[in-house]
Homo-oligomer: A and B are copies of this chain.
């Protein structure tokens, strides 16, 4: 790098970061600037050892009795409690078991059933696809209307027919965040329930769900929670809804007495009635170990570091590239998640050229390059280096090179 003074500035910022010691809890490949933790978080060092223990000691030695002796049966609630503490939620309100799509289906149906007589489900046009697809299925099965809202004028879609609004707190493409308390209040104002998708929030953008009285939340655990590829999602249900919770994937693990093997379904009391099948023990154990990186982290520090990283990225972009790239992500802190998205005509090529240089972001159609800043392991030096590479990719028009023109099936 040529601009030595600037990189020294990055290092000074890192030295002042209260979370600077956390990076050593992760394995980050040498020479990689990993700005894709908003798609798949890096692996916490504690994970392989914990998983090996589950396989070799628990499954291998205790076999079936590990359901009790290693408390496998307690994993969905135990991991849920760990996620809940990170999100500032009350005890016994979070459950972890299935994929995000499946978790959305369960909570959406349960929410709609709490508002009988109302016949509209609201989702936003910019939502992550699975939220819309699942909402469409829920609407079809419950005989409701699916209403698509525009994120810049949500209130236009709200009226007293709405049973549920399901919105994504941080937009996966742009990194823009909704004003969660205000939107929740507007949804409650018309008597509807509020389900927040926290996939791009949990682990990077602290939010208060209790104050605004959010009804439900779902979030994935393989992004900023670093649970590993395809790790199970979490579901939150406000305590006031627990007794009436009526979810459609009523498998045996949500029964009041699953091992009595009764013919009729009697749901357990509490958030555990969001359970369906046998819990995925290996994945839950990996996630439980992964969440240890948050032990003792002050959520305010998480947010401050995240904003410092994204501020610095935007500042360097402005200084080095000016109008050559368009920053899609809001510049105001109150509307920004933990990623910065750039719009560029050749966004796919830009991302591929950066990956070839060891700077990993990702592409989202049609023209967005995304860069996620996981506050526990991304440094200001990473940010500095990433921008230096981006400058070269843009100045030399590397994104036009032939090898970067073909779309991968997954990026």
Contacts and interface: CB of A to CB of B under 8 A. Distances in A.
Interface of A: 27, 29, 32, 34, 36, 39-40, 42-43, 47-48, 51-52, 55-56, 59-61, 63-68, 72-73, 97-102, 105, 125, 128-130, 132-134, 136-137, 141-142, 148, 173, 220, 222, 228-233, 248-253, 255, 258-263, 265, 276-284, 286, 355, 360, 362, 364-365, 408-411
B59 A39 contact: no
Contact of A248 (B43, B137, B259): B137
B280 A232 contact: yes
Contact of A48 (B56, B101, B276): B56
Copies in the complex: 2
A60 B148 CA distance: 39
A47 B130 CA distance: 32
Given A67-B229, A73-B409, A229-B279, 7 more contacts: A27-B56, A40-B64, A129-B255, A134-B250, A230-B279, A230-B282, A230-B283
Contacts of A263: 125, 129, 132, 148
Nearest 9 CB-CB pairs, A to B? A99-B277, A101-B251, A101-B277, A229-B281, A130-B252, A133-B265, A230-B280, A67-B410, A101-B276
A354 B201 CA distance: 50
Nearest to A266: B133
A231 B261 CA distance: 21
Contacts of A142: 141
A109 to B, nearest CB: 8
24 contacts: A32-B63, A47-B55, A64-B362, A66-B229, A67-B229, A67-B410, A68-B408, A73-B409, A102-B102, A105-B249, A128-B252, A129-B255, A129-B265, A137-B248, A141-B141, A148-B263, A173-B261, A228-B282, A230-B278, A231-B282, A232-B280, A233-B277, A280-B283, A283-B283
Contact of A102 (B27, B251, B365): B251
A186 to B, nearest CB: 23
A55 B51 contact: yes
Contacts of A97: 99
A411 B265 CA distance: 20
Given A32-B63, A55-B43, A261-B364, A134 B251 contact: yes
A411 B259 contact: yes
Contacts of A56: 27, 43, 48
Contact of A283 (B260, B262, B277, B282): B282
Contacts of A60: 27, 29, 43, 48
A249 to B, nearest CB: 6
A55 B226 CA distance: 12
Contacts of A251: 99-102, 130, 133-134
A276 B137 CA distance: 12
Q: Specify which of A55, A66, A277, A364 lies most central, judged by the most chain B CB atoms within 10 Å of its CB.
A: A277
A11 to B, nearest CB: 24
A100 B360 contact: no
Contacts of A360: 63-65
A286 B365 CA distance: 33
Q: Specify which of A56, A136, A233, A251 lies most central, judged by the most chain B CB atoms within 10 Å of its CB.
A: A251
A133 B250 contact: yes
Nearest to A70: B229
A160 to B, nearest CB: 25
A403 B99 CA distance: 40
Given A222-B278, A280-B230, A280-B231, A102 B67 contact: no
B73 A59 contact: no
Contact of A258 (B100, B129, B233, B253): B129
Given A27-B60, A101-B249, A228 B133 contact: no
